[in-house]
Structure formats: C-alpha cells, structure tokens
C-alpha cells in the first residue's frame, strides 16, 4: 500500500494487492513542511566548518596536520561507493593522531552539513567507516 499527498490536500492510497491500482481519497491530514533555502544550509555548513577548524587549530600538533585536517570534510562529497573506505581512512587518521573525540564529532557535523547543502543523500558508510577507523587508529597508536 502506497501513500502520497497532493499539494497538502488529501492522502490517497493505491491498493497494489489486487493489481488494479485503484485510487481513492481517504481523509485530509495536516502536513507540516519545513522549507529551507539553499543559502540556509550553506550558512549552517559554513558555521559548522568554522567551528571544526577552530577545534582543529586548538587540537592539532602542527600546522601541516591542521591544514590536512581542515580539508577532510570535503572528502564526504566523493562518490558513494568510496565512502566506507574513505571514512575508514579519515577516522584512522584522526584517531592515530590521538585527537579528542569532539574533534571527530565536529568533523562529522561539518561533513554531514556540507553533504546536505550539496544535496547529497545520507550514507551510513561514511559514519561507520569513520567510527571504526577512529577506534582502530587509537588502538594502533598506543
């Protein structure tokens, strides 16, 4: 059974069990729609990125490492098939440096907001890869 809404008017259901695909109006359902413009998401992504860069500047041991860490959120925009491996490498890099977990959290927030602003869908591979890589990086660095 599939449901859809016509411009917020009424909910329609299509019965697919009998194969005829009949459509009948059921009842009116109020729908809350939050509309955001493109610049709103880009502004939020920029603010999260600035916060992440400040955390990196305070936590990174050297300037070249800080520059490398500042470029990591852009890797979230790579093709979907690469996200698990790239996330694993990013997490390993951050964990191997022994950086604070909040730096990883800032990286996740900045990269996910960047992906939302760029109209990319949510992919769990990036988050799973970063989490596993962070744990492995900490384990190897000890």
Total domain count, the chain: 2
Residues 44 and 23 in one domain: no
Residue numbers of the domain that contains 82? 38-141
Same domain, 76 and 63: yes
Are 12 and 70 found together in one domain? Answer: no
Same domain? 11 vs 46? no
Q: What is the pLDDT of residue 17?
A: 55
The pLDDT of residue 19 is: 55
Q: 7 and 44: one domain?
A: no
Q: How many CB atoms lie within 10 A of CB 34?
A: 4
Look at residue 50 in the predicted model and tell me its pLDDT. 96
pTM of the predicted structure, to 2 decimals = 0.68
pLDDT under 70: residue ranges of the chain: 1-36
Check whether residue 76 and residue 106 sit in a common domain: yes
Note the pLDDT tens digit of each residue in 65-99: 999 999 999 988 888 888 888 889 999 998 888 88
Are 27 and 47 in a shared domain?
no
Residues 71 and 26 in one domain: no
Same domain, 71 and 23: no
Say if residue 134 is in the same domain as residue 69: yes
Same-domain pairing of 26 and 94: no
Q: Which residues contact 56 (CB under 8 A, 6 or more apart)?
A: 66, 69, 70, 103, 106
């Amino acid at each position: 059974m599939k449901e859809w809404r016509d411009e917020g008017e009424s909910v329609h259901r299509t019965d697919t069990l009998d194969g005829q695909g009949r459509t009948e109006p059921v009842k009116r359902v109020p729908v809350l729609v939050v509309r955001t413009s493109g610049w709103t998401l880009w502004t939020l992504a920029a603010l999260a990125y600035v916060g992440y860069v400040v955390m990196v500047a305070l936590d990174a041991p050297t300037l070249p490492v800080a520059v490398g860490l500042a470029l990591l959120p852009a890797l979230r925009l790579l093709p979907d098939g690469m996200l698990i491996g790239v996330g694993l490498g990013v997490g390993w890099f951050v964990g191997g440096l022994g950086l604070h977990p909040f730096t990883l959290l800032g990286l996740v927030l900045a990269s996910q907001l960047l992906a939302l602003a760029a109209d990319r869908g949510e992919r769990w591979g990036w988050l799973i890869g970063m989490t596993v890589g962070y744990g492995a990086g900490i384990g190897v660095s000890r």
